[in-house]
Structure 1
């Protein structure tokens, strides 16, 4: 097993960094959400949940609690010293060996491969350090950018949950993608 740490990880030669998003970063997180609110909110409810300083801190605290309980985590992506997006484990069940990963990014950071690189780091950590066997990626069928990330990560599309996600007045089809630990390791080798 490798020794992967998620405390402060370089995402490449461009200086991008991956770090835990902790509750004390509430102002920075809210500022980031405000910059990308409309873009990020096209497919996920995160900007609807983080609307002011209190809700920003509450969201980050909920993930700090998940980290403490070994049930998830949220990590920010910094580019040029600015928080521009993130990746997370919405859920993690170490006993069952499953986790659900996700992502978001503000418009200014699109097209640089930041989410793919960050997702690789957290998936590698989950598989190699936590013993996760199956990492899932649940995405709106309309979110082609996130689907492309799942594909670049070597995930397999398992199916479509038709009209399963009610969001902003309509029901969205959600796709289930996943990668299994042996597949992940084989692709890396």
Structure 2
């Protein structure tokens, strides 16, 4: 898995590497979203972190990006520059695959941004990274997130149970959504997506 694209411009968004100077911003937005994120995102239980830890984490994301371990992008509105969320491409599901992950600031939901991000990272995987299979793992309780891969043409292949349990003591269930390269179809309203290889400050 190799990715040289450090900046992605979509019709409404810019996806780019975080920089250490944005540690305070990231912390503030995460802290404000923790209650909403807690049921869906396992690492949210480790929050809140101090700002120094966030700065270290951003540096590690940059290192991971250029080491081709995984790729973290901050998501910002193109017009206003406002923070929207964070997105990731993981290679942990095996050779020839990527897994998409993201979280959106609750102040920015309802605008279709998660769908726009998912489309951009899917297109990046197939057209610039030579990936054959893109996956999303979505908590079965999270109906809003399930609609995103469904809209883009992903297939819900199966649901599995985890060791972890919910507040009622039931095992958590996750849906696995899959798209293969030959199944990717362009979505006209997102097709002005532009991929760039730049310095981390751009």
TM-score bracket for this pair, using the shorter chain length = 0.7 to 0.9
CA offsets 1:121-148 (integer angstroms, 9 cap, x no match):
1211111111011111001000111111
Gaps (5+ residues) in structure 2? 188-202
Q: 1:151-183: CA deviations, max 9, x gaps?
A: 122111110112x15267653101111111110
Corresponding residue pairs, total? 179
**Rg comparison, structure with higher value:** 2
Q: Say whether residues 1:18 and 2:15 are aligned partners.
A: yes
Question: Structure 1's 8 and 155: CA in aligned 2 closer, same or farther, altered over 3 A?
Answer: closer
Partner SS for 1:188: coil
Shift of 1:67: 1.1
Shift of 1:92: 5.7
Contact 1:91 1:101 in 2 (8 A): no
Q: Which of the numbers 8, 24, 43 marks the counterpart of 1:27? A: 24
Q: Provide Cα deviations, 1:76-132, integer angstroms capped at 9, x if missing partner.
A: 221332212122113367x82111111111211111010111111121111111101
Q: So what's the TM-score if we normalise by structure 2?
A: 0.78
Q: Which has the higher contact order (CA 8 A, sep 6+)?
A: 2
In the alignment, what sits opposite 1:150? Answer: 149
Is 2:63 the partner of 1:42? no
| CA distance in 2: counterparts of 1:125 and 1:99, whole angstroms | 10
State the partner residue of 1:71: 69
Q: Distance in 2 between matches of 1:28 and 1:21?
A: 10
TM value normalised by structure 1:
0.82
Q: Which residue of 1 aligns with 2:103?
A: 104
Is the 2:15–2:76 Cα contact (8 Å) retained in structure 1? Answer: yes
Q: What's the secondary structure of 2:7's corresponding residue?
A: coil
| Structure 1: gaps (5+ residues) | none
What are the residue-to-residue correspondences of 1:31-180 with 2, within 5 Å? 31-51=28-48, 52-79=50-77, 80-91=80-91, 96-162=95-161, 164=162, 166=164, 171-180=171-180
The alpha-carbon distance between structure 1 residues 117 and 128, as it changes in their structure 2 partners (threshold 3 A), is same
Q: 1:173 to 1:86 in 2, by over 3 A?
A: same
